[in-house]
Amino acid sequence: MQIKVLGTGCANCRSTVALIEEAAQAKGIAIEIAKVEDLKEIMSYGVMSTPGVVINGKVVHAGGIPTRDLIDGWLK
Partner 1 sequence: MGLAVWIAAYAALEPFADSALALLALTRQTRLGEAVHFFIYDTPKVLLLLTGIVFVMGVIHTFIAPERTRALLSGRRLGLGNVMAATLGIVTPFCSCSAVPLFIGFLSAGVPLGVTFSFLIAAPMVNEIALALLFGLFGWKVAALYLGLGLTVAITAGLVIGRMGMEEHLEDWVRAMQGTQSAAFDPAKPCWDERVASGLAHVKSIVGKVWPYILLGIAVGAAIHGYVPEDFMASIMGKEAPWWSLPAAVAIGVPMYSNAAGIIPIVEALLGKGAALGTVLAFMMSVIALSLPEMIILRKVLKPRLIATFASVVAAGILLVGYVFNALL
Q: Does 55 bind partner 1 (CB under 8 A)?
A: no
Residue pair 8/61 in contact (Cβ under 8 Å)? The answer is: no
Other C-beta atoms closer than 10 Å to the C-beta of 38 total 10
Question: For partner 1, which is the closer residue by CB, 25 or 38?
Answer: 38
CA angle 71, 6, 2 (to 5 degrees): 55
Beta carbon nearer to partner 1, 7 or 23 = 7
Q: How far is the CB of 66 from partner 1 (least distance, A)?
A: 12
Interface residue with partner 1, options 33, 55, 62, 75 (CB under 8 A): 62
Sign of the torsion angle spanned by Cα atoms 58, 55, 61, 6: negative
Can you give the binding site for partner 1, defined by CB under 8 A?
7-10, 12-13, 39-40, 42-43, 45-50, 52, 59, 62-64
